[in-house]
């Protein structure tokens, strides 16, 4: 998206990531005028949908924001299903494997869902987001979203690579814990 908007390869550290996550306290407080530090988790959850709607009306061209309001952590399955099984906010699922195998096709469909017209610029934007380029850039200048001391953020980009990194016991634990959702999304067990 940043490549498309800029018309050239975007700086991976200049994406305004501090204003990128959907659970931003600043955006929440700007929209509600309330101090999020004095609200319970249930109160914040109850206001989240109206905040999204308010933000969409006020700034339709922007995506979401940063320093987080507290939210429930449900694990991968819970998080995925909390989006797919809700009807308050329209959603569009893009499996990583699809994006990897047909980036222009599936990115175009995602943009169409978001109300953006397809254009020939998409192909170049996709090329500029090539994983090897992102990995090289992280080696050169670092990546602001990587935790200090952690392994490189842009690892391999290959579909299913996680199965090669984890040992058999770890793979089994993940597949057992998330079998239902993986099956629903079409992820075959390793």
Footprint of other proteins (CB under 8 A)? 13, 18, 25-26, 29-40, 43, 46-47, 50-51, 53-54, 58, 66-68, 141-146, 148
For other proteins, give the closer residue by CB, 51 or 122: 51
Name the CA radius of gyration of the chain, rounded: 19
For other proteins, give the closer residue by CB, 48 or 126: 48
Indicate if the alpha-carbon torsion angle 79, 113, 160, 150 is positive or negative: negative
CB of 120 to other proteins, least distance (A): 32
> How far is Cα of residue 177 from the mean position of the Cα atoms in its chain?
22
DSSP string, 10-25: PPTT-S-GGG-BTTBH
For other proteins, give the closer residue by CB, 26 or 175: 26
The single residue listed with the structure tokens 């969409």 is: 56
CB of 38 to other proteins, least distance (A): 5
CB of 129 to other proteins, least distance (A): 19
For other proteins, give the closer residue by CB, 4 or 12: 12
For other proteins, give the closer residue by CB, 39 or 129: 39
Overall residue count recorded for the chain in this entry: 190
- Cα(76)–Cα(56) distance, integer angstroms: 26
Read off the DSSP letter of residue 39. Answer: S
CB of 144 to other proteins, least distance (A): 4
- Cα(86)–Cα(156) distance, integer angstroms: 32
CB of 31 to other proteins, least distance (A): 5
Report yes or no: 25 and 17 within 8 Å, Cβ to Cβ: no
- Cα(133)–Cα(154) distance, integer angstroms: 10
């Amino acid at each position: 998206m940043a490549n498309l908007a800029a018309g050239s390869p975007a700086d991976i550290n200049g994406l305004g990531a501090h204003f990128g996550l959907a659970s931003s306290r600043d955006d929440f407080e700007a929209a509600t005028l309330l101090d999020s530090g004095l609200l319970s988790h249930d109160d914040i959850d109850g206001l989240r949908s109206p905040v999204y709607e308010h933000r969409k009306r006020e700034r339709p061209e922007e995506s979401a924001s940063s320093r987080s309001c507290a939210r429930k952590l449900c694990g991968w399955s819970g998080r995925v299903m909390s989006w797919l099984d809700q009807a308050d906010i329209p959603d569009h699922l893009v499996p990583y494997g699809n994006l990897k195998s047909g980036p222009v096709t599936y990115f175009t469909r995602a943009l169409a869902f978001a109300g953006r017209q397809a254009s020939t610029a998409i192909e170049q934007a996709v090329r500029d987001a090539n994983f090897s380029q992102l990995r090289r850039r992280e080696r050169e200048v670092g990546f602001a979203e990587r935790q200090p001391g952690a392994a490189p953020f842009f690892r391999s980009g290959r579909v299913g690579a996680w199965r090669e990194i984890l040992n058999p016991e770890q793979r089994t634990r993940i597949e057992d814990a998330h079998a239902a959702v993986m099956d629903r999304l079409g992820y075959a067990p390793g």
